Amino acid sequence: MPAVQRDVVVVGASAGGVEALRTMARSLPADFPAAILVVMHLSPGARSALPLILDRSGPLPAYAAIHGALLRPGVIHVATPDHHLLTDDDAMVLTHGPTEHGHRPAINATFRSAAVTAGPRATGVILSGTLDDGALGLRSIVDRGGRAMVQDPADALHAGMPENALALVDAEYVLPAAEIGPALDKLVRRPVDEATGPEPSAALLLEDRIARDGVRLGSVVPGDRLPPSGYPCPDCRGPLTEVDAAGRYRCRLGHAWSVEALLGAHDTEFQRALWTALRSLDEKTALARRLRQDSERRDYGMLAHRYATTATECADAADTLRKFLFSLSAEPEPEPEAPP
């Protein structure tokens, strides 16, 4: 039997990942013998400049992924906004399956797909990012006989994704971004020990099918096996089901959440509510001051005093809330822009 190479590399990144991706691309050789699929969290309406950025960063050409196009060795295929990037044998598949962790494209969806279709030929790479998208997908690749590579958390601008991946996977390679390219080049040139690897689990096949075909979870799993968790889905507000003991959730429409991502989504919702409250306080302050001025012109002393008290109380509350909101973490990293 001819030797089988590790010819599929899937890479996931999020906040702080552009520079890590550029560093990795810069360190890859021009004769890199495997296809690379890159997934970075993107806003649905964005027009990503990431293919151009990576194309200019190193010797390998980089292109936006095209549905049905063949995977090509020595080419970086970049996920497009609002589509999951999956594999089907030696071709790419773009789908509009349910969001995962609030993202489409989602790193887990791509990694699971590589685990199902490439098995031991797949190598997963996790770079800088927050929360834990990609961790379960990387676990799936390793379970199927593939290899895992993770950016050293100390080297990552945001260590959340690397740390969460390492909590689930005993990665053989934990490296700074500058060393990932040479390590990948050596790894993919070594033949695979077992060409088939362990069979994919039923749960892995089901989750891949949801991302691939857009099937609803409720249509493939009996309703009595989907008891609600008590938490609403941040995407559709439907009840979430805890699908396993590891704290993974899906709603009946298929939106997927981990515990950490769910907590982050509720934190975002909480902050949004506080910003709405701050705006209301500012508006109430302005209105109370105007009413105080009108009352003073009409010589309504007691009424003017009441409006002045209201304005002061609202302004003080708004200042306290504003300081609290500004003390919270910064906004997520903006979408990558094309270099000049």
pLDDT tens track for 145-163: 999 999 999 999 999 999 9
Catalytic residue among 14, 48, 140, 295: 14
Higher pLDDT, 111 or 89: 111
> Does position 46 have pLDDT exceeding 60, yes or no?
yes
Contact of 282 with 246, CB cutoff 8 Å:
no
Nearest to 146 by CA among 7, 3, 2: 7
Nearest to 25 by CA among 65, 64, 59: 59
Neighbours of 28 (CB within 10 A): 22
pLDDT of residue 330: 46
> Does position 11 have pLDDT exceeding 90, yes or no?
yes
Q: Which of 73-77, 99-103, 195-199, 224-228 is predicted least confidently?
A: 224-228
In this prediction, residues 196-212 reach a mean pLDDT of 86
Catalytic residue among 41, 77, 84, 255: 41
Higher pLDDT, 44 or 133: 133
Q: Please, what's the largest Cα pairwise distance for the chain?
A: 99
Q: How confident is the model at residue 227 (pLDDT cuts 50, 70, 90)?
A: low
- The question of whether 133 is a catalytic residue gets the answer yes
Alpha carbon separation from 114 to 37, 205, 225, 265 (Å, rounded): 10, 12, 28, 27
Q: What are phi and psi of 197, to 5 degrees?
A: 75, 175
Neighbours of 313 (CB within 10 A): 14
Neighbours of 225 (CB within 10 A): 9
The mean pLDDT value of the chain amounts to 88
Percent of the chain with pLDDT over 90: 61
Q: How far apart are CA 328 and CA 232, in angstroms?
A: 24
pLDDT of residue 217: 59
* Interval 108-118: pLDDT, tens: 999 999 999 99
Neighbours of 96 (CB within 10 A): 11
Neighbours of 237 (CB within 10 A): 8
Q: How far apart are CA 159 and CA 177, in angstroms?
A: 13
Q: How far apart are CA 36 and CA 85, in angstroms?
A: 12
Tell me the two tokens of residue 207: 């989750």
Q: How confident is the model at residue 218 (pLDDT cuts 50, 70, 90)?
A: low
- The question of whether 267 is a catalytic residue gets the answer no
Q: Are strands 228-232 and 239-244 parallel, antiparallel or unpaired?
A: antiparallel
pTM for the complete prediction? 0.81
Nearest to 15 by CA among 340, 337, 336: 336
Q: How confident is the model at residue 216 (pLDDT cuts 50, 70, 90)?
A: low
Q: How confident is the model at residue 103 (pLDDT cuts 50, 70, 90)?
A: very high
Catalytic residue among 27, 57, 133, 235: 133
Q: How far apart are CA 232 and CA 266, in angstroms?
A: 10
Q: How confident is the model at residue 33 (pLDDT cuts 50, 70, 90)?
A: very high
Class of domain 8-188: alpha beta
Q: Which of 35-49, 92-106, 245-259 is predicted least confidently?
A: 245-259
pLDDT of residue 237: 86
* Interval 241-283: pLDDT, tens: 887 766 788 888 889 998 888 888 877 778 888 889 989 999 9
